[in-house]
Amino acid sequence: MSQFTPENNVLVGTIPDVKPIILPTDNPFTSRVMQFEKMRITAPEELHITIDFWIQLTEVARLIFKESDIAKPVLNAEHPFLNDDALLQYLPTVLKAVLVELQKKPLTDEVQKVTKELSQLADDVIIDYGRVLLGYTDTEIAKEFQLFLSIALKIVYVKSAILAELPELEVEQGFHHCPMCGDAPIASVIDPMDNGLRYLLCNLCETKWHKVRSTCHNCSNTGKIELLSVEGQESVMKTENCPECKTYIKHIDRTKNPMLDVYVEDLATLSLDFTLAEDDHQRKSFNLYLR
């Protein structure tokens, strides 16, 4: 049996249903390290210090992700299904493990100083900072702390999403935010196993959820979405721009190369962000590596 789906007009073979939610399955930092290393090869020399730091941090995240002891989460009855209070309890331990591992690496003086300051934070302060990153309060967090806290929070949320029971849902819900954790999507993706369907990918827990192509990720626009790519560059990453709410999201088709990483490709296409900022377009989620 094969069928046409109206939204993408392609033959999808024998797949009976669209999966509304696809939970992450693998350690996401493994391929991210490799993609950063690839990026470094062609990057201009003046970016090497920054990229080396991203590689160090992502290597540490890969290890702590593997080693951290996180229990299968008890889901909320309604979306977002992951329980923030329960997950935040892991944040101090995970952050400290990241800092200990990072301090074994050759760090710049600046990074060394920040990791020392972070190591001295009390657990309840770290949990409060986690709540700020999740949008509960808008207390200020020192700019230089944000990337480390974001990485630790990501480790906790992705690992919890991997361990979670898949919630049963109707496909038609068309979430604007992640059904698992409530965060905004970092990008929309088309992956090889997903039958040409477009999914939004969560900026925090890396869950994917189905959203019909040609609908805006942010507003109720189901009409026209404009695509923009880097001029003169064969980039697989484009932007989807909504003319109604003037919001855009990065889009990547990974059907030919499933190894491509949304965070790395996003950083490689920052010129698109500059172009769209000049045109008053906004973006709802930001790449944590730029924090």
Alpha helices in 1-108 (DSSP H): 28-42, 48-67, 84-88, 91-102
Contact 178, 211 (CB under 8 A): no
180 binds Zn ion (CB under 5 A): yes
219 binds Zn ion (CB under 5 A): yes
Cα-based torsion angle of the residue sequence 209, 148, 118, 161 in order, rounded to the nearest 10 degrees: 30
Rounded-to-integer distance, Cα 285 and Cα 188, Å: 12
Q: How far is the CB of 14 from Zn ion (least distance, A)?
A: 29
Q: How far is the CB of 207 from Zn ion (least distance, A)?
A: 5
Nearer to Zn ion, 49 or 219 (CB): 219
187 binds Zn ion (CB under 5 A): no
178 binds Zn ion (CB under 5 A): yes
Query: Which of 5, 76, 214, 221 is close enough to bind Zn ion by CB under 5 A?
Result: 221
Positions 112 through 151 that interact with Zn ion (CB under 5 A)? none
Q: How far is the CB of 217 from Zn ion (least distance, A)?
A: 7
Of 40-48, 118-126, 168-176, 239-247: span binding Zn ion (CB under 5 A): 239-247
Nearer to Zn ion, 28 or 115 (CB): 28
Rounded-to-integer distance, Cα 274 and Cα 239, Å: 12
22 binds Zn ion (CB under 5 A): no
Give the residue from 282, 265, 263 showing the smallest Cα distance to 218: 282
Of 2-10, 44-52, 144-152, 206-214: span binding Zn ion (CB under 5 A): 206-214
205 binds Zn ion (CB under 5 A): yes
Nearer to Zn ion, 32 or 118 (CB): 32
Of 64-72, 125-133, 139-147, 181-189: span binding Zn ion (CB under 5 A): 181-189
What one-character-per-residue DSSP string does 166-227 give? PPP--GGG--SS-TTT-PPEEEEEE-GGGTT--EEEETTT--EEE--TTS-SSSS--S--EE
Q: How far is the CB of 178 from Zn ion (least distance, A)?
A: 3
Query: Which of 218, 239, 241, 285 is close enough to bind Zn ion by CB under 5 A?
Result: 218
Q: For the chain, give the number of residues.
A: 291
Rounded-to-integer distance, Cα 178 and Cα 206, Å: 9
94 binds Zn ion (CB under 5 A): no
What one-character-per-residue DSSP string does 123-180 give? HHHHHHHHHHHTTS------GGGHHHHHHHHHHHHHHHHHHSPPPP--GGG--SS-TT
Residues that bind Zn ion (CB under 5 A): 178, 180-181, 183, 202, 204-205, 207, 216, 218-219, 221, 242, 244-245
